[in-house]
Structure 1
Amino acid sequence: MTLKNAPAYIQLAVDLIQILEEHELDNDTVLKALTLVTQDFENKRDNVSIAP
Protein backbone atom coordinates (compact mmCIF):
# COMPACT_ATOMS: atom_id res chain seq x y z
CA MET A 1 0.00 0.00 0.00
CA THR A 2 1.33 3.41 -0.91
CA LEU A 3 0.76 6.47 1.21
CA LYS A 4 -1.27 7.94 -1.65
CA ASN A 5 -3.82 5.15 -1.16
CA ALA A 6 -3.77 5.27 2.64
CA PRO A 7 -6.71 6.67 4.62
CA ALA A 8 -6.67 10.43 5.21
CA TYR A 9 -5.82 10.04 8.91
CA ILE A 10 -2.69 8.03 8.05
CA GLN A 11 -1.60 10.65 5.51
CA LEU A 12 -2.16 13.40 8.06
CA ALA A 13 -0.24 11.50 10.74
CA VAL A 14 2.74 11.05 8.43
CA ASP A 15 2.68 14.75 7.54
CA LEU A 16 2.51 15.77 11.20
CA ILE A 17 5.37 13.45 12.13
CA GLN A 18 7.50 14.92 9.37
CA ILE A 19 6.74 18.50 10.43
CA LEU A 20 7.48 17.77 14.08
CA GLU A 21 10.72 15.96 13.30
CA GLU A 22 11.88 18.82 11.06
CA HIS A 23 11.55 21.21 14.01
CA GLU A 24 13.86 18.99 16.08
CA LEU A 25 11.83 19.42 19.25
CA ASP A 26 12.34 17.16 22.22
CA ASN A 27 9.86 14.33 22.68
CA ASP A 28 8.31 15.70 25.87
CA THR A 29 7.53 19.03 24.21
CA VAL A 30 5.91 17.30 21.24
CA LEU A 31 3.85 14.99 23.44
CA LYS A 32 2.62 17.87 25.61
CA ALA A 33 1.64 19.84 22.51
CA LEU A 34 -0.14 16.83 21.01
CA THR A 35 -2.05 16.36 24.26
CA LEU A 36 -3.33 19.93 24.02
CA VAL A 37 -4.22 19.48 20.36
CA THR A 38 -6.07 16.25 21.12
CA GLN A 39 -8.03 17.89 23.95
CA ASP A 40 -8.92 20.84 21.73
CA PHE A 41 -10.24 18.67 18.90
CA GLU A 42 -12.13 16.40 21.33
CA ASN A 43 -13.79 19.49 22.84
CA LYS A 44 -14.72 20.76 19.38
CA ARG A 45 -16.11 17.34 18.44
CA ASP A 46 -18.11 17.03 21.67
CA ASN A 47 -19.53 20.56 21.51
CA VAL A 48 -20.77 20.50 17.93
CA SER A 49 -24.36 21.73 17.80
CA ILE A 50 -26.69 19.67 15.71
CA ALA A 51 -28.93 21.90 13.62
CA PRO A 52 -32.64 21.04 13.75
Structure 2
Amino acid sequence: MGAILFVWVLGVFVIVGIVCWYLAQFVIRDSLAYDEEFVWGRKVRHLIDEEKKH
Protein backbone atom coordinates (compact mmCIF):
# COMPACT_ATOMS: atom_id res chain seq x y z
CA MET A 1 0.00 0.00 0.00
CA GLY A 2 2.81 2.43 0.85
CA ALA A 3 4.58 1.81 -2.46
CA ILE A 4 1.44 2.59 -4.45
CA LEU A 5 0.93 5.83 -2.54
CA PHE A 6 4.58 6.76 -3.12
CA VAL A 7 4.23 6.17 -6.88
CA TRP A 8 1.05 8.29 -7.05
CA VAL A 9 2.60 11.14 -5.07
CA LEU A 10 5.74 10.99 -7.20
CA GLY A 11 3.63 11.06 -10.36
CA VAL A 12 1.69 14.09 -9.16
CA PHE A 13 4.92 15.94 -8.33
CA VAL A 14 6.35 15.13 -11.76
CA ILE A 15 3.23 16.41 -13.52
CA VAL A 16 3.17 19.60 -11.42
CA GLY A 17 6.90 20.11 -12.02
CA ILE A 18 6.47 19.80 -15.79
CA VAL A 19 3.57 22.26 -15.81
CA CYS A 20 5.58 24.74 -13.70
CA TRP A 21 8.59 24.42 -16.01
CA TYR A 22 6.51 25.12 -19.14
CA LEU A 23 4.81 28.04 -17.41
CA ALA A 24 8.18 29.50 -16.42
CA GLN A 25 9.45 29.17 -20.01
CA PHE A 26 6.32 30.89 -21.28
CA VAL A 27 6.71 33.80 -18.85
CA ILE A 28 10.41 34.20 -19.67
CA ARG A 29 9.77 34.34 -23.43
CA ASP A 30 6.69 36.55 -23.19
CA SER A 31 7.20 40.27 -23.67
CA LEU A 32 5.19 43.43 -23.21
CA ALA A 33 5.84 44.51 -26.79
CA TYR A 34 4.37 41.25 -28.10
CA ASP A 35 1.29 41.66 -25.91
CA GLU A 36 0.75 45.26 -26.96
CA GLU A 37 1.14 44.46 -30.64
CA PHE A 38 -0.75 41.19 -31.00
CA VAL A 39 -3.09 41.04 -27.98
CA TRP A 40 -4.08 44.66 -27.47
CA GLY A 41 -3.86 45.66 -31.13
CA ARG A 42 -1.32 48.42 -30.69
CA LYS A 43 1.30 48.91 -33.34
CA VAL A 44 4.28 49.37 -31.04
CA ARG A 45 6.98 48.40 -33.51
CA HIS A 46 5.57 50.73 -36.13
CA LEU A 47 5.67 53.65 -33.69
CA ILE A 48 9.19 52.80 -32.57
CA ASP A 49 10.40 52.68 -36.18
CA GLU A 50 8.86 56.09 -36.89
CA GLU A 51 10.57 57.61 -33.84
CA LYS A 52 13.94 56.27 -34.96
CA LYS A 53 13.60 57.93 -38.37
CA HIS A 54 13.18 61.40 -36.85
Category of TM-score, reference length = shorter chain: 0.3 to 0.5
Larger radius of gyration: 2
> Which structure shows the higher helix fraction?
2
TM-score by length of 2: 0.46
